[in-house]
């Protein structure tokens, strides 16, 4: 059994899956089906908010505590909700540093929101998928309207009020073949910190017993890769093309988290959960206090309990969560064990392990070819970049 998880992160969803836009590729919108009785009470109430803030701080020994606010769309909870959240953080901080990370589509941002973010030093993650054509392909309102212009307005607002932000870009079958157009569009709107997220989903022919169509990797009924899923090798080439331009002229000016995390691993640091040997320290908190193993595993089988009924730290270190954590390394495919890039990949996210290995055994990551393409190309020059930086230090 592994050591106890003392430091962890909860990706909290104060509005559950409720959102003000209807992104075609969103994996979380259909999670509303897990809570059929919550239609009128979809928002986190103040009792749950207070208890979450208190227990999240008290359950961790680290001097720095991160609060990550996601959705759905967290701005739908209202500004007053987050003013209360900050007040509770200040009440229960116990001398610890509190960081707030806020992921939004940007459509509801106003000067009042921006002033609040600036005053309390929130770091904002803004979703934008490249230029207008890339972005509007999947990210539309419920009435079918484009959202790109609203996101650009949100960026201008964040800049005006000096709010730090980064951009999160979903890489799909639509924008994967135009990497430089995507990268340059992000730079043009003022993003200096960016992250590229590969879009991989499978759709069941029929909904499972919970009414969900986007299914887990061990789903055995008829299904197919979703049409918006990024082709594996193309994703690797997408990253490589951006890396080559970034390495040539943008180091130190623009920061691509995909590259930064790999270089962190190369010098012995800890990478993202996707490329760590084990995962399990990044859990999800639903609006009613339910805790799940991971944001990408919000399924009944992966529910650990509820903060109102169970001790948070005990849930984090439960046998169920430890097994979830260790299965990432234990269930790795035979191809991975022999792979030259295993040290920086570790088989990728378990959610994507639904392909077959060369000997027909499951658990191979769908993005395996793309990861090989990317890491084989980028790791050697990354090592050289690290060497030069260390020499000049």
Which of 282, 274, 293 shows the shortest CA–CA distance to 349? 274
End-to-end CA distance of the chain: 40
What pLDDT is recorded for position 392?
85
Nearest-angstrom CA–CA distance, 110 and 127: 16
* pLDDT tens digits for range 62-100: 999 999 999 999 999 999 999 999 999 999 999 999 999
Q: What is the mean pLDDT of residues 198-211?
A: 95
Higher pLDDT pick, 356 / 304: 304
Q: What is the pLDDT of residues 254-279, one digit of tens each?
A: 999 999 999 999 999 988 999 999 99
- Spacing of C-alpha 182 from chain mean position: 19
Q: What is the arrangement of strands in the sheet containing 255-256, beginning at the earlier edge strand?
A: 255-256, 193-198, 165-171, 123-127, 97-104, 64-69, 9-12, 282-285, 290-292, 303-306
* DSSP-assigned letter for residue 184: H
User: What does the pLDDT average to over 49-64?
Assistant: 96
Judge whether 152 and 189 are in contact, CB under 8 Å.
yes
Residue 40 has pLDDT above 80, yes or no: no
| Portion of the chain with pLDDT greater than 90, in percent | 88
> Quick check: 350 and 362 in contact, CB under 8 A?
no
Active site members: 295
- Res 369 pLDDT > 50: yes
CATH superfamily of 9-331: Aldolase class I (3.20.20.70)
Peptide bond into 72 cis (omega under 30): yes
CA distances (Å), 268 to each of 7, 341, 344, 355, 386, in order? 19, 15, 11, 30, 12
**Could you give the C-alpha distances from 81 to 69, 289, 303, 323, in angstroms and in order?**
12, 16, 25, 35
Residues 337 and 332: their CA atoms lie apart, in Å, by 7
Q: Are 349 and 359 in contact (CB under 8 A)?
A: no
pTM of the predicted model, to two decimals? 0.96
Residue 325: pLDDT band by 50, 70, 90 thresholds? very high
Is beta strand 282-285 parallel, antiparallel or unpaired with respect to 290-292? Answer: antiparallel
The CA distance from 57 to 91, in Å, is: 11
Measured CA to CA, the distance from residue 346 to residue 329 in angstroms comes to 7
The predicted structure's pLDDT at residue 1: 43
- Interval 227-245 mean pLDDT: 99
Share of the chain above pLDDT 70, in %: 99
Q: Is the pLDDT of residue 2 over 60?
A: no
What average pLDDT score do residues 357-384 get? 93
Q: Residue 3 has what pLDDT?
A: 62
Interval 330-358 mean pLDDT: 92
Model pLDDT, residue 201: 98
Long-range contacts, 327-335 (Cβ 8 Å, 24+): 328/276, 328/277, 328/278, 328/279, 328/280, 329/277, 329/278, 331/363, 332/363, 333/357, 333/361, 333/362, 333/363, 333/364, 333/365, 334/358, 334/359, 334/361, 335/364, 335/368
**Within its chain, how far is the Cα of 134 from the centroid?**
20
Query: What is the pLDDT, as a whole number, of residue 173?
Result: 98
Average the pLDDT over 51-57 and give the result.
98
Contact at 8 Å (CB) between 33 and 21?
A: no
**Per-residue pLDDT at 218 exceeds 90:** no
- What's the average model confidence in pLDDT over 158-180? 99
Residues in the chain: 393
């Amino acid at each position: 059994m592994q050591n106890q998880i003392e430091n962890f992160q909860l990706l909290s969803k104060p509005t559950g899956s409720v959102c003000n836009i209807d992104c075609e590729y969103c994996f979380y919108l259909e999670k509303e089906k897990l809570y059929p009785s919550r239609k009128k009470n979809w928002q986190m109430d103040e009792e749950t908010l207070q208890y979450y803030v208190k227990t999240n701080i008290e359950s961790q020994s680290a001097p720095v505590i991160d609060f990550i606010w996601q959705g759905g769309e967290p701005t739908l909870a209202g500004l007053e909700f987050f003013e209360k959240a900050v007040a509770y953080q200040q009440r229960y901080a116990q001398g610890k540093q509190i960081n707030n990370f806020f992921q939004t589509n940007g459509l509801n941002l106003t000067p009042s929101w921006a002033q609040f973010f600036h005053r309390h030093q929130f770091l904002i993650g803004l979703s934008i998928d490249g230029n207008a054509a890339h972005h509007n392909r999947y990210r539309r309102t419920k009435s079918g309207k484009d959202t790109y212009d609203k996101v650009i307005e949100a960026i201008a607002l964040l800049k005006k009020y000096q709010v730090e932000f980064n951009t999160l870009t979903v890489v799909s079958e639509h924008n994967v073949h135009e990497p430089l157009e995507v990268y340059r569009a992000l730079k043009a709107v003022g993003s200096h910190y960016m992250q590229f997220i590969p879009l991989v989903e499978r759709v069941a022919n029929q909904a499972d017993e919970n009414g969900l169509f986007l299914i887990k990797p061990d789903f055995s009924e008829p299904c197919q890769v979703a049409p918006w899923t990024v082709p594996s090798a193309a994703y690797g080439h997408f990253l490589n093309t951006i890396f080559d331009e970034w390495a040539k002229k943008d180091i130190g000016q623009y920061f691509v988290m995909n590259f930064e995390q790999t270089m962190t691993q190369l010098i012995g640091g800890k990478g993202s959960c996707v490329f760590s040997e084990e995962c399990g320290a990044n859990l999800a908190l639903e609006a009613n206090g339910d805790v799940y193993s991971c944001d990408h595993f919000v399924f009944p089988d992966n529910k650990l309990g509820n903060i109102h009924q169970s001790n948070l730290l005990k849930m984090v270190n439960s046998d169920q969560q430890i097994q979830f954590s260790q299965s990432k390394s234990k269930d790795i495919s035979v191809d991975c064990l022999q792979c030259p890039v295993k040290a920086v990949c570790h088989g990728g996210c378990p959610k994507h392990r639904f392909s077959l290995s060369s000997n027909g055994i499951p658990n191979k990551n769908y993005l395996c070819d793309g990861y090989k393409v990317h890491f084989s190309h980028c790791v050697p020059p990354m090592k050289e970049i690290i060497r030069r930086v260390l020499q000049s230090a």
